[in-house]
Amino acid sequence: MTSRVFSGIQPTGQITLGNYLGALKQFVALQDQADAYYCVVDMHAITMPQDPDQLKERIKDLASLYLAVGLNPEKSTLFVQSDVSAHSELGWILQCLVHMGELSRMTQFKEKGEGKEAVSAGLFTYPALMAADILLYQSHLVPVGEDQKQHLELTRDLAIRFNARFGDTFTIPEIMLLKQGARIMSLDDPNKKMSKSNPNPGSRIEMLDPPDVIRKKISRAVTDSDRFIRFDPEAKPAVSNLLTIFSLVTDQSIEDVVSAYDGKGYGDFKKELGEALVAHLTPIQTRYAEIRNSGEIERLLHLGAEKARATAATTMEAVRKNVGLGS
C-alpha cells in the first residue's frame, strides 16, 4: 500500500525560506513516493485576526507557491481546508476528546498568546483542528518543521485515545522531520526561529523577495564574534544557520561548504550565499508569477477539494458510527 502524506501551511503572510527548507521542499520530494495531500489551512489562520480581502488573496498566493516550488496537481492533492467541512466537524469531535491540560502545555499557544489582551478560544483549541486535518486522511507521514513536533505528538495521543475508546478508526501518524533544515533561524537573532510573523522583515528571507533584497538581508545577517567559518550550532549559531541554508540551497554537504570557505572571511561567504539564494529562488519566482496570473488556480483547488472531500467522507462515516452520532 502506498503511504499517505499530509501537511498544511497557514496563509498568514509571505512564505519564508524557513517554511520552504523545513516543509515545502520535502512536500515536493514526497509526492513521487506517496499519496500526498497538501492543504492551505485557512481555518487555522483565523485563530488570529485576519483581514478578509487579504486572506482571500493569501490563500491563492500560497496555493500558487505550492505549484511554483514543484508540486504537481496530478500527483498530489492540493486544496483549501475550509472547502472540506469535515475538518471542522472532526475538529469539534476531537475538542471533546482532548484535555484542557494538554492544550495548556502547547508552546505555540503560549508564544502566540503572550502579551495579547484578547486571545481567541480557537487559538487554544487549534491543536484539535490540526489533529483532525491529519487523521481525516488516515495519514501515515506528516512532514513539518521542528516547531510542530509537540502538535504531532498530541495528534498521535488523540488517535490512540480515540481508537482505544471507540474502536480502531484512525491510522497513527508519524512525524517526518529533516535532520537539517527543520529549524531555520532568524537572520537577526539565531536563537529564534525564522518566522513570517516577526515584525522585523530583515529577520527572514521571503520566497518572493527580489534579488537585491535577498542580497541585502544576507549581507546584514548577524554573524558570531570570531572570524572563522565553522559549523557549531552551540558556539556559533548564526554562522551555523547560514551554513545550513547554503548547504540546502546548493545541495552540498555542510563539510563541503565549510572547506570551500576555509581561510576566507564572512564577506565572501555572505556574498556567495546571497548569490546562491538568488539563483535558487529566481526560477521559483518566475513560475510563481506565471501561475498566479494564469487564473488556473481556482479550478485546480476546486478539483483538489472534491478529491479531499471524498477521502474525508469515508473517515467521517466511520467516526460518526463509532462515536454513536447522528439519526
Residues labelled as active-site residues: 112, 193, 196
134 binds, among ligand ATP, ligand LTN, none (CB under 5 to 8 A by kind): ligand LTN
Segment 182-186 long-range contacts (CB within 8 Å, at least 24 positions apart): 182/22, 182/145, 182/146, 183/18, 183/22, 183/145, 183/146, 183/147, 184/16, 184/17, 184/18, 184/21, 184/22, 184/145, 184/241, 184/244, 184/245, 185/237, 185/238, 185/241
Determine if 142 is a binding residue for ligand LTN (CB under 6 A): yes
**Candidate list 25, 58, 140, 183; residue touching ligand ATP; CB under 6 A:** 183
Which residues from 24-43 bind ligand LTN, rule CB under 6 A?
41
Coil, strand or helix at 30 = helix
User: Is-contact 169 321, C-beta < 8 A?
Assistant: no
Count of residues near ligand ATP by CB under 6 A? 19
Determine if 196 is a binding residue for ligand ATP (CB under 6 A): yes
Query: Based on C-alpha coordinates, what's the Rg of the chain?
Result: 21
- Cell 478560544 belongs to 121
CA–CA dist 83, 288 (Å, integer): 23
User: Is-contact 59 80, C-beta < 8 A?
Assistant: yes
Residue sitting closest to ligand LTN (CB): 8
Determine if 65 is a binding residue for ligand ATP (CB under 6 A): no
**Candidate list 6, 27, 109, 162; residue touching ligand LTN; CB under 6 A:** 6
Least distance (Å) from ligand ATP to the CB of residue 181? 6
184 binds, among ligand LTN, ligand ATP, none (CB under 5 to 8 A by kind): ligand ATP
Of 151, 155, 157, nearest to 109 (Cα)?
Answer: 151
Coil, strand or helix at 141 = strand
130 binds, among ligand LTN, ligand ATP, none (CB under 5 to 8 A by kind): ligand LTN
Determine if 154 is a binding residue for ligand LTN (CB under 6 A): no
Site string for ligand ATP, 146-175 (x = CB under 6 A): -xx---------------------------
Grid cell listed for 169: 478508526
**Candidate list 42, 133, 206, 209; residue touching ligand LTN; CB under 6 A:** 133
Output 10 or 311, the one with its CB closest to ligand ATP: 10
Determine if 43 is a binding residue for ligand ATP (CB under 6 A): no
Of 10, 251, 31, nearest to 123 (Cα)?
Answer: 10
User: Is-contact 50 11, C-beta < 8 A?
Assistant: no
Of 311, 8, 1, nearest to 143 (Cα)?
Answer: 8
Determine if 190 is a binding residue for ligand ATP (CB under 6 A): no
Least distance (Å) from ligand ATP to the CB of residue 147? 5
User: Is-contact 11 65, C-beta < 8 A?
Assistant: no
Least distance (Å) from ligand LTN to the CB of residue 38? 9
- Contact positions vs ligand ATP (CB under 6 A): 9-10, 12, 18-19, 22-23, 144-145, 147-148, 182-184, 193-197
Residues in contact with ligand LTN by CB under 6 A are: 6-8, 10, 41, 44, 130, 133-134, 142, 144, 148, 151
